């Protein structure tokens, strides 16, 4: 089974020695872990599976990982690490459609198709279906999926200890920027959503569903909360800003005769947003760090059970004014500030749609299928509507003992390397 080797070098993660050693020793005392990851090849789920298969946090903590996916996918197309002695065994359960059937139907499917399902100790759930024009329908559908999965794991996973899923800064109300945010955003604020926001955000409802489902079953839940997630998915993602910009910048560089980051030509490209969006402070998280935080939370239900926990690469907030030159520079381009005229050029999705045929014509057919998606219009406007400070507090995360961090620019570079390796960009 093919797996990609773990990335090191600049931007590698660091762990505080005292707390880190204590936590690793605690994890080593646990064994025979079986992680069940729903949405295993999506943007967040891929990162969790990748970290588990890489032996995080320590060999022997997990001995099996099951990735549940909707799409059929060959193991060689996942780009996960190669199987090595002492690392978890991978099994892929593809073609599982959560949209149809009941929780009992899902349980029957998983029991039939996942060897050792009764021994699952940790569930990671990273599935979300979006509706751009009907958020109440979106909430209802996703709550239905969560209830279905909770029913299934209660029927099957008698050794379950924790259930980790992803929320997001939407749970703080960022879709309603008229809210007077006090930053940094602290986790207790997620329980203070205005009523008009709460009815269209699924995360508070997830907490209720899982709290009730866990009664009498010996497990607990944790909600990991990211803002911008920077990462890789082998099947692409309609809501991945890293993929969206990577395809845009890759095509732009190709069309301007630039190959590689050492190009001699100076080709400028403006930030697709406003000045306010260019300078707004935020705390991104790489899929790598988010994966590790998710695993950390799953192994520490006594500290983080029934809680929301912020996730971030670096406690010091960044801006796109700082990141845009680094992001564009990876493609040999010179990133400059907003042009000031929103209608002066094609949006990133329009540019991709116009030129994506070049991917297939030049030996990158995956670049076409992983390109412009359902969320492209929303991603086009990120630099315009996210024009307010929204950085997350790291206090709870650090207090719980997770001390690792990564330079934000390195997260983008890591995602771009993986996208290029997979043939999704030039």
Tell me the pLDDT tens digit for each residue of 241-275: 999 999 999 999 999 999 755 557 899 999 999 99
DSSP sequence for 158-200 = TT--EEEEE--GGGGTTT-TTS---SSB-GGGGGG--HHHHTT
DSSP sequence for 17-35 = HHHHHHHHHHHHT---EEE
Burial class, 150, CB count within 10 angstroms (exposed 0-12 / middle 13-18 / buried 19+)? buried
> Which residues pair with residue 68 across a beta bridge?
38, 93
Domain extent at residue 375: 241-280+319-385
Q: How far apart are CA 161 and CA 163, in angstroms?
A: 7
Contact assessment for residue 220 and residue 300, using Cβ atoms and an 8 Å cutoff = no
In a domain, 85, yes or no: yes
In a domain, 224, yes or no: yes
pLDDT value of residue 261: 52
In a domain, 415, yes or no: no
Looking at the structure, do residues 204 and 249 belong to the same domain, yes or no? no
Mean pLDDT taken over the chain: 90
Burial class, 302, CB count within 10 angstroms (exposed 0-12 / middle 13-18 / buried 19+)? exposed
With a CB cutoff of 8 Å and minimum separation 6, the contacts of 420 are 426
In a domain, 418, yes or no: no
Looking at the structure, do residues 180 and 35 belong to the same domain, yes or no? yes
Confidence band (pLDDT; 50, 70, 90) for 286? Answer: very high
| Residue in this structure with the two tokens 């406690």, named with its chain if needed | 315
Compute the average pLDDT of residues 221-236.
Answer: 97
Looking at the structure, do residues 263 and 123 belong to the same domain, yes or no? no
Q: How far apart are CA 205 and CA 189, in angstroms?
A: 15
Looking at the structure, do residues 42 and 157 belong to the same domain, yes or no? yes
The count of structural domains within the chain is: 2
Beta strand residue intervals within 290-364, DSSP E: 307-310, 334-336
**Closest listed residue to residue 60, CA positions, set 36, 91, 29, 82:** 29
User: Whole-angstrom distance between the N-terminal and C-terminal Cα of the chain?
Assistant: 26
pLDDT value of residue 11: 38
Please name the residue ranges forming H helices in 122-265.
Answer: 135-156, 195-198, 203-214, 241-255
Looking at the structure, do residues 141 and 112 belong to the same domain, yes or no? yes
Q: Give the CATH number of the domain where residue 301 resides.
A: 3.40.50.720
Tell me the pLDDT tens digit for each residue of 169-199: 999 999 887 888 899 999 999 999 988 888 8
Looking at the structure, do residues 260 and 378 belong to the same domain, yes or no? yes
Q: Which of 191-195, 207-211, 415-419 shows the lowest per-residue confidence on average (mean pLDDT)?
A: 191-195
Looking at the structure, do residues 302 and 271 belong to the same domain, yes or no? no
In a domain, 63, yes or no: yes
Tell me the pLDDT tens digit for each residue of 357-376: 999 999 999 998 886 666 78
Looking at the structure, do residues 158 and 247 belong to the same domain, yes or no? no
């Amino acid at each position: 089974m093919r797996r990609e080797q773990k990335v090191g070098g600049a931007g590698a993660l660091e762990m505080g020695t005292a707390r880190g050693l204590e936590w690793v020793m605690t994890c080593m005392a646990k064994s025979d872990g079986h992680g069940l990851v729903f949405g295993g090849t999506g943007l967040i789920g891929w990162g969790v599976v990748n970290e588990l298969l890489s032996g995080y946090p320590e060999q022997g903590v997990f001995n099996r990982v099951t990735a549940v996916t909707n799409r059929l996918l060959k193991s060689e197309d996942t780009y996960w690490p190669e199987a090595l002695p002492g690392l978890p065994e991978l099994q892929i359960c593809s073609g599982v459609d959560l949209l149809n059937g009941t929780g009992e139907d899902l349980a029957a499917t998983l029991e039939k198709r996942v060897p050792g399902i009764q021994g699952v100790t940790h569930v990671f759930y990273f599935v979300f279906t979006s509706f751009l024009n009907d958020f109440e329908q979106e909430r209802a559908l996703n709550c239905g999926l969560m209830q279905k999965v909770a029913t299934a794991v209660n029927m099957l996973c008698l050794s379950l200890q924790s259930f980790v899923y992803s929320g997001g800064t939407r749970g703080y109300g960022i879709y309603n920027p008229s809210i007077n945010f006090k930053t940094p955003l602290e986790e207790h604020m997620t329980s203070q959503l205005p009523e008009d926001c709460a009815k269209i955000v699924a995360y508070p409802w997830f907490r209720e569903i899982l709290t009730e489902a866990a009664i009498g079953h010996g497990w607990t839940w944790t909600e990991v909360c990211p803002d911008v997630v920077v990462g890789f998915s082998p099947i692409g993602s309609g809501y991945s800003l890293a993929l969206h910009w990577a395809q845009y910048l890759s095509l732009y560089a190709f069309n301007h005769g630039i190959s590689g980051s050492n190009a001699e030509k100076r080709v400028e490209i403006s930030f697709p947003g406003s000045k306010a969006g260019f300078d707004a402070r935020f705390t991104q998280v790489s899929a790598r760090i988010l994966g590790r935080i998710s695993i950390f939370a799953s192994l520490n239900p006594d500290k983080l059970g029934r809680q929301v926990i912020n996730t971030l690469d670096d406690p010091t907030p960044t801006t796109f004014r700082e990141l845009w030159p680094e992001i564009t520079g990876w493609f040999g381009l010179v990133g400059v500030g907003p042009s000031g005229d929103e209608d002066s050029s094609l949006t990133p999705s329009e540019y991709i749609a116009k030129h994506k045929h070049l991917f297939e014509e030049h030996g990158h057919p995956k670049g076409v299928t992983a390109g412009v998606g359902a969320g492209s219009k929303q991603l086009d406007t990120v630099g315009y509507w996210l024009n307010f400070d929204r950085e997350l507090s790291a206090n709870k995360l650090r207090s719980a003992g997770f001390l690792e961090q990564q330079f934000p620019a390195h997260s983008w570079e890591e995602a771009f390397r993986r996208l290029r390796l997979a043939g999704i960009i030039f």
